Amino acid sequence: MTGLLGPMMVIVWKDVLLELRSRDLVVSVVVFGLLVVVVFNFALNNTPGRSEELAPGILWSAFAFAAVLAMNRAFVRDQEQGGLEGLLISPVSRDAIFLGKALTSLIFMLLVEAALLPIYAVMLDFSALSWMLILTIFLGTLGFAVVGTLFSAIAVQTRSREIMLPVLFFPVLLPVIIAAVEASTRAIGGETFVGLGRWLPLIGVFDALFLVICPWVFGFVVEE
Amino acid sequence: MANTQSIERLGSIDRLPSLKTALAAITGVMMLVDLYLIFMVAPTDSVLGHVQRVFYFHVPIAIMSFLAFFIVFIGSLMYLIKRTPKWDAIAHASAEVGVVFVTLALITGIIWARPIWNTWWTWEPRLTTTMILWLIYVAYLMVRSYAPSQSKGAIYAAVVGIIGFIDVPIVYYSVVWWRSIHPSPVVGPFAQADALDGTMAWILLYSFITFVFFFAYMVAERMELRKTEEALGRIRFILRRRGR
Amino acid sequence: MLDFILLSTHLPSSNLPYLFAAFAVSWVVLFGYLFYVNRRQHEMKKEIARLQSVLDQSDEEE
């Protein structure tokens, strides 16, 4: 297990450092997240009375679109710089590479979401001070990161990479989005873990399942 | 005559044509019988009337489209493990024919919904899952054609085939649970289409078997097309190597 | 009398267009696909034959 963790953390560390130094990706994704909320707010005709009903949906739509955007750009940049190739030549295991990349995406998106959440709480008028909400966001984003990293690795090699990732991502992650919105609705309403019903366990099972499957198929995607 | 010989020189167009013809013949006969059963033998539904007969096409087509995706899953798995081209060929052909079937399932479903439920669409579990299945099939085919090479395309598609298949049941249940909280005002008589009387049930079964053969025939056609594609690729390769 | 009225309001007679549409679409799509596959097959075989003769010619030249 330690053979996995070490290389993984090195990859994560390197990518995170790279990102913090340039910061352009974080900023642009946060701005994008704000734009999505503004558009949805008007598109869905979000009046004060309806805010409670619409907020979780708008929140997760924004997070999902932001995640796709972020992972797309991260992998494109990585490919341009030859980062992935370099890793593949080295003796690091494919699993470590995949998990490292996924963890990087996860951390990145959690940072973006942490920046956006307070703003959303104000704009959409809900209380974000809920551990259950935080947990939901964490588990949902984990699902995005794991499946998204795999699909990004595929999409970045294809001819129309900007469209390929969303086309792959959204159908597969629909259950996570459904569950996250439902769980968030209850969490914001002040429910405890039990009150969230089956939704959080659904995301949990999804995450666990794909945490096993995605690293395995990743090996085939990047083989030469 | 000389041309057929040279094609065979290059590659293998073997037993497939005769299997294909057999399937075509069987399908043709079965379909004629099926149509007779649907329109002449099946009882008229007392509540829904004649339009209910769409059911005998819509349900088998829908079930077949899911079955096709299972074949894509198996083919994808076997291809990733064994790398024999025939598994990729089966997966690819099944996916393409599968897309045709899901598309048809959706269209007939929509046409069926309008008179029965008085709405073109409803976000109920089966329809929604079918829609998602369609999207995953399309993603499968897109990945294949947008990939940098044939072999990479086969691998990426196989990955999508596997992930997609595992995902579909999860999608279904998440929508079922979602619907239990947001029930649709549409609860049509065939929302639970299992209240069948005997005749309807076995005609439905027969129709399903007919479509299994139809599917098999279409896959056989597609696989033969693929063989021709490969033969064309080979001859182009040879010519290119000779600088023509 | 009431039963009769209820029954006749229940008879869906005007739905036959939908019935026709569903079956018609099914045939069009299914045969459309088969037609498409066959046409591509035909075109490719022609192309193979053409390239084959080019190949044969270059064989003779060598």
Residue in B33, B102, B95 with CA at minimum distance from that of residue B65: B102
Q: Say which DSSP state A156 is in.
A: T
A174: which chain B residues are within 8 Å (Cβ-Cβ)?
132, 171, 174
Report the domain count for chain A: 1
More confident residue, C8 or A110: A110
Tell me the two tokens of residue C51.
């390239």
Q: Output b/e per residue, B51-87; b: 16+ Cβ within 10 A.
A: bbbbbbbbbbbbbbbbbbbebbbbbbbbbbeeeeeeb
More confident residue, B11 or A84: A84
Neighbours of A208 (CB within 10 A): 12
C window 5-24, beta carbon within 8 A of B: 10-13, 15-16, 18-19, 21-23
* Right CATH for B48-197 from 1.20.120, 1.10.530, 3.40.50, 1.25.10: 1.20.120
Chains B and C: how many Cβ contacts under 8 Å? 99
B115: which chain C residues are within 8 Å (Cβ-Cβ)?
12, 15, 18
pLDDT classification of A192: cutoffs 50, 70, 90: confident
In this model, does residue A76 exceed pLDDT 80?
A: yes
Q: B208 vs chain C: nearest CA distance in angstroms?
A: 14
Neighbours of B217 (CB within 10 A): 22
pLDDT of residue A52: 84
B window 4-63, beta carbon within 8 A of A: none
pTM, to two decimals: 0.88
Residue in A176, A208, A181 with CA at minimum distance from that of residue A196: A181
Domain that holds residue A119: 2-222
Q: Residue holding tokens 């370099």?
A: A86
A195: which chain B residues are within 8 Å (Cβ-Cβ)?
none
Average the pLDDT over A57-65 and give the result. 95
Backbone dihedral region of A160: left (phi > 0), alpha (psi from -120 to 50 degrees) or beta?
Answer: beta
> For chain B, how far is it from start to end, CA to CA, in angstroms?
24
Chains A and B: how many Cβ contacts under 8 Å? 83
Residue in B225, B211, B194, B244 with CA at minimum distance from that of residue B33: B211
Q: A184 vs chain B: nearest CA distance in angstroms?
A: 14
A156: which chain B residues are within 8 Å (Cβ-Cβ)?
none
pLDDT of residue B130: 94
Tell me the two tokens of residue B225.
């097309």
Q: Does residue C47 belong to the interface with chain B, where contact is any CB pair within 8 Å?
A: yes
A178: which chain B residues are within 8 Å (Cβ-Cβ)?
174-175, 178
Q: Does residue C57 belong to the interface with chain B, where contact is any CB pair within 8 Å?
A: no
Average the pLDDT over A38-63 and give the result. 89
CB burial class (10 A; 0-12, 13-18, 19+) of residue A33? buried
Contact A179 B135 (CB under 8 A): no
More confident residue, C56 or B74: B74
B103: which chain C residues are within 8 Å (Cβ-Cβ)?
29
Q: Closest to B146 (Cβ–Cβ): which among A160, A171, A202?
A: A160
Query: Residues B98, B223: contact at Cβ < 8 Å?
Result: no
B135: which chain A residues are within 8 Å (Cβ-Cβ)?
167, 170-171
Contact B104 C26 (CB under 8 A): yes
Q: Which residues face B45 on adjacent strands?
A: B49
In this model, does residue A1 exceed pLDDT 80?
A: no
CA distances from A176 to A162, A168, A215, C1, C24 (A): 22, 14, 19, 55, 38
Q: B74 vs chain A: nearest CA distance in angstroms?
A: 15
Tell me the ipTM for this assembly: 0.90
pLDDT of residue A32: 94
pLDDT of residue B140: 97
Residue in A150, A90, A167, A49 with CA at minimum distance from that of residue B132: A167
Q: What percent of chain A has pLDDT over 70?
A: 98
Query: Residues B206, B34: contact at Cβ < 8 Å?
Result: yes
Q: B181 vs chain C: nearest CA distance in angstroms?
A: 31
- Residue pLDDT tens, chain B, 244 long: 344 444 344 334 456 678 889 999 999 999 999 998 888 888 887 777 888 888 899 999 999 999 999 999 999 999 999 999 999 999 999 999 999 999 999 999 998 888 877 888 888 888 999 999 999 999 999 999 999 999 999 999 999 999 999 999 999 999 999 988 887 765 544 444 445 678 888 899 999 999 999 999 999 999 999 999 999 988 888 888 887 5
Contact B221 C15 (CB under 8 A): no
Residue A128: what residue type?
A
pLDDT classification of C27: cutoffs 50, 70, 90: very high
CB burial class (10 A; 0-12, 13-18, 19+) of residue B145? exposed
pLDDT of residue B186: 58
Q: Closest to B163 (Cβ–Cβ): which among A159, A172, A202?
A: A172
Question: Which residues of B lie closer than 8 Å to C, measured between beta carbons?
Answer: 3, 6-7, 47-51, 53-54, 57-58, 61, 97, 100, 103-104, 107-108, 111-112, 114-115, 214, 218, 221-222, 224-225, 228-229, 231-232, 235-236, 238-239, 242, 244
- Which residues are CB-contacts of B244 (< 8 A; sequence separation ≥ 6)? C54, C58
CA distance B232 to B71: 27
Contact C48 B114 (CB under 8 A): no
pLDDT of residue B9: 41
Q: pLDDT, tens digit, for every residue of C11-23?
A: 556 678 888 899 9
Average pLDDT, chain A: 89
